[in-house]
Amino acid sequence: MSETLEFTADVEKETAPLYERVKSVIPEFEWRMHAPYIAAINRLKKEKGAVILAHNYQTPEIFHCVSDFAGDSLQLAREAAKTDAQIIVQAGVHFMAETSKILSPDKTVLIPDMQAGCSLASSITGADVRLLRERFPGVPIVTYVNTSAEVKAESDICCTSSNAVDVVESLGVDRVFMIPDQYLAKNVAKQTKVEILTWAGSCEVHERFTADDIRAFRKSHPGVVVLAHPECPPEVVEEADFAGSTSAMIGYVEDKRPKRVVMVTECSMSDNVAASLPDVDFVRPCNLCPHMKRITLPKILHSLQTMTHEVHVDPVIAVRARQAVENMLKVGSPKARALAA
């Protein structure tokens, strides 16, 4: 890992405009630790012509101060497909880096920590999907992007939480498999006439929320607007005022500017939005994703310095996985459709 860097007067001056963006969510003593890494990363990134793609769940010092692009899973996939940079550093989890590699096979894709996994991605294997095909011949398989390249390769089409209903309906059939998130599948099933079969996977962050939690937020914070991610169990989504992907939730707060809001999702996201919307009061239940939190500034710097850890995808698997991801991208940008509660 890289050496400890000093908070010098030059670093302070260089990073002052960035601190302005995040000072409402990062205390000064913490900034003194982050700033030297931010300065070093931004310098090295420029030197190497690299881009940093960050998921909305990254911490504010990554999201606001070193990322070139931040977004939800679908936006990150689109960005990876179109960037001109030769080096992509994925500030997110492994399946996101694999998706970038699948879409940009000639580029170097780095992930600062190889252990940054996902409970959904580890809930299913390519062999499981082959078994589903054998048992349910002819039923198309829609696979959440939160899966390995091998699982994507066995699928007809991918989806994310922002386009899942559109993807399911694009197939023009009565019955589909939607794997591996049982809760996303159940939430989508309420929005369409298509019969949805699913798998028993779940997100370890969102499955912890309960309908009682939402009722408790409303009781303790009267008037609070509740936004939930569709990886939450359906009874949680039913209690919410709005449900949508991470970027759809951010869009809701930016457009509607509720006085007080709770985002029922990974908690770094509230910090990221709160940093730019000081007039909104965020109630913050803190469920952290341990995988997303493996990505830190020192690891991003180390990744750029040493060009590690490079993500590789078997070319045969990559071609088939790419087809499933491209099929999804062809469905187009999501309509202004929320997985309404």
In what helix (H) or strand (E) does residue 249 lie, and over which residues does it extend? helix 246-256
Residue 289 is which amino acid?
Answer: C
Closest listed residue to residue 94, CA positions, set 324, 313, 314, 267: 313
CA angle 129, 133, 134 (to 5 degrees): 115
Q: 185: which 2 tokens?
A: 């599948």
Q: Report 17-76 residues binding ligand SF4 (CB under 6 A).
A: none
Asked if 231 touches ligand 13P (CB under 6 A), the answer is: yes
Out of 15, 59, 119, 146, which residue is the one contacting ligand 13P (CB under 6 A)? 146
Instruction: Indicate which single residue of 15, 147, 198, 245 sits in contact with ligand 13P (rule: CB under 6 A).
Output: 245
Instruction: Kindly tell me which residue out of 77, 178, 203, 274 binds ligand SF4, with binding defined by CB under 6 A.
Output: 203
Tell the smallest beta-carbon distance from residue 300 to ligand SF4 (Å).
Answer: 17
Tokens of 115: 């252990």
Scanning 26-34, 160-168, 188-196, 312-320 for contacts with ligand 13P by CB under 6 A, the matching segment is 160-168
Residues 6+ apart with CB under 8 A from 299: 1, 112, 113
Q: Which of helix, strand or coil describes residue 148?
A: coil
User: At its nearest, how many Å lie between ligand SF4 and the CB of residue 117?
Assistant: 8
* Helices and strands, counts by H and E, the chain: 15, 12
Among the residue ranges 114-122, 191-199, 236-244, 312-320, the one whose residues contact ligand SF4 (CB under 6 A): 114-122
Amino acid identity for residue 320 in this structure: R
Distance of alpha carbon 121 from alpha carbon 113, whole angstroms: 16
Q: Considering the complex, what minimum distance in angstroms separates the CB of residue 243 from ligand SF4?
A: 15
Cβ-Cβ contacts under 8 Å for 276 (sequence gap 6 or more): 21
Give yes or no for residue 98 binding ligand 13P (CB under 6 A): no
- Min dist CB 151 to ligand SF4, Å, is 14
Residue 119 as a binder of ligand SF4 (CB under 6 A): the answer is yes
Please report, as ranges, the residues that interact with ligand 13P according to CB under 6 A: 56, 72-74, 146, 160-162, 203, 231, 245-246
Please report, as ranges, the residues that interact with ligand SF4 according to CB under 6 A: 93, 118-120, 146, 203-205, 231, 266, 289, 291-292
